[in-house]
């Protein structure tokens, strides 16, 4: 078990060419980390609102996940990144996070973005709400995607399953108050669950940027701006343990 988890959030825009997106995995993944978080749908962007993305869906053994695993092995780290995954419905794939490196997992987005004028459920299929928690360098890491951040019960399911870090890859669409919502919700999920939050978004102008790392008492450890960048932060087990001693809200719950 490591006392420090070395992390990086890659705030990079995915394009409409899957091969070009795959190539950037090797270009931008740092090699001196334990965990690298890429945005939602990095394998191929959503395209215009309401676009049919089924032609770009792959299994989690496909080209994107294979390259993700190769880069993870080469850089000796664990990678999390988003893709569209084939499902039993050929017209509606899953919006999936793939984990490769020290551990292998897949998380299919539960809460589809039927909000702010969008209808993600018209084009994508929701996943099973069972929590997905993986172990990275001795830390328990729970997986969420974008709109899931607005549902506190989702984060609590992950924490009840042991999560100490919540990882939230996103393509948080830009608009009025959206950066404020993003920052506020990331801090709220950290505070109410006494967990670290690593929320990695795609940059402006289409998305909000502002990838953020929040500590278990709600302090902002690091935050990106609007543009593409790689945000780094070291997570401390001492800080996590002290936060849970100071604010034992998980123990104080009455159900």
The confidence score (pLDDT) of residue 154 equals: 98
The percent of residues above 90 in pLDDT, for the chain, comes to 98
What number is the average pLDDT over the span 59-63?
98
Q: Is the peptide bond before 163 cis (omega within 30 degrees of 0)?
A: no
The confidence score (pLDDT) of residue 99 equals: 98
The confidence score (pLDDT) of residue 242 equals: 98
- Choosing from 40, 67, 120, 164, which is the catalytic residue? 40
Q: What is the pLDDT of residues 121-168, one digit of tens each?
A: 999 999 999 999 999 999 999 999 999 999 999 999 999 999 999 999
Q: What is the pLDDT of residues 207-220, one digit of tens each?
A: 999 999 999 999 99
Helices (H), the chain: 18-28, 63-75, 152-160, 178-193, 237-246, 249-252
Q: Provide the pairing of β-strand 78-85 with 94-100.
A: antiparallel
What number is the average pLDDT over the span 81-106?
98
CA–CA gap between residue 82 and residue 98 (Å, rounded)? 6
Q: Are 94 and 50 contacting, i.e. CB atoms less than 8 angstroms apart?
A: no
CA–CA gap between residue 124 and residue 109 (Å, rounded)? 9
Q: Is the pLDDT score of 1 beyond 90?
A: no
- Choosing from 12, 67, 85, 146, which is the catalytic residue? 146
**What mean pLDDT, rounded, does the chain reach?**
97
Q: Which pLDDT band holds residue 223 (cuts at 50, 70, 90)?
A: very high
The confidence score (pLDDT) of residue 167 equals: 99
Q: Which pLDDT band holds residue 57 (cuts at 50, 70, 90)?
A: very high
Q: Is the pLDDT score of 92 beyond 90?
A: yes
Residue listed under structure tokens 């395209």: 47
For the question of residue 178 being annotated catalytic, the response is no
Q: Provide the pairing of β-strand 139-143 with 78-85.
A: unpaired
Which segments within 130-215 are labelled E, that is strand? 133-136, 139-143, 165-169, 196-200, 212-214
- Choosing from 12, 58, 75, 109, which is the catalytic residue? 109
Q: Are 220 and 214 contacting, i.e. CB atoms less than 8 angstroms apart?
A: yes
The percent of residues above 70 in pLDDT, for the chain, comes to 100
Q: Is the pLDDT score of 255 beyond 90?
A: no
CA–CA gap between residue 115 and residue 209 (Å, rounded)? 19
For the question of residue 75 being annotated catalytic, the response is no
Q: Are 44 and 18 contacting, i.e. CB atoms less than 8 angstroms apart?
A: yes
Residue listed under structure tokens 């102008």: 205
Q: Which pLDDT band holds residue 2 (cuts at 50, 70, 90)?
A: confident
């Amino acid at each position: 078990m490591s006392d420090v988890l070395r992390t990086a959030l890659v705030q990079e825009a995915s394009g409409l060419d899957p091969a070009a997106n795959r190539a950037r995995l090797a270009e931008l993944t740092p090699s001196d980390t334990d965990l690298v978080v890429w945005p939602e749908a990095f394998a191929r962007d959503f395209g215009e609102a309401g676009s049919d993305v089924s032609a770009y869906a792959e299994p989690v053994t496909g080209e994107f996940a294979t390259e993700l695993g190769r880069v993870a092995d080469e850089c000796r780290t664990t990678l999390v990144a988003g893709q569209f995954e084939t499902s039993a419905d050929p017209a509606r794939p899953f919006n999936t996070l793939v984990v490769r490196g020290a551990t292998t997992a897949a998380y299919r987005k539960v809460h589809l973005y039927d909000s702010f004028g969008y209808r993600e459920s018209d084009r994508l299929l929701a996943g099973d709400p069972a929590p997905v928690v993986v172990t990275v360098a001795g830390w328990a890491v729970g997986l969420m995607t974008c709109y899931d951040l607005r549902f506190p019960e989702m984060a609590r399911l992950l924490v009840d399953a042991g999560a100490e870090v919540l990882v939230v890859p996103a393509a948080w669409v830009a608009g009025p108050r959206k950066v404020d919502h993003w920052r506020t919700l990331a801090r709220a999920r950290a505070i109410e669950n006494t967990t670290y939050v690593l929320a990695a978004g795609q940059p402006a102008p289409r998305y909000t940027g502002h990838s953020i790392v929040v500590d278990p008492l709600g302090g902002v450890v690091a935050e990106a701006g609007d543009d593409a960048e790689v945000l780094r932060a070291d997570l401390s087990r001492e800080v996590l343990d002290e936060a849970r001693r100071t604010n034992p809200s998980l123990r104080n719950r009455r159900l």
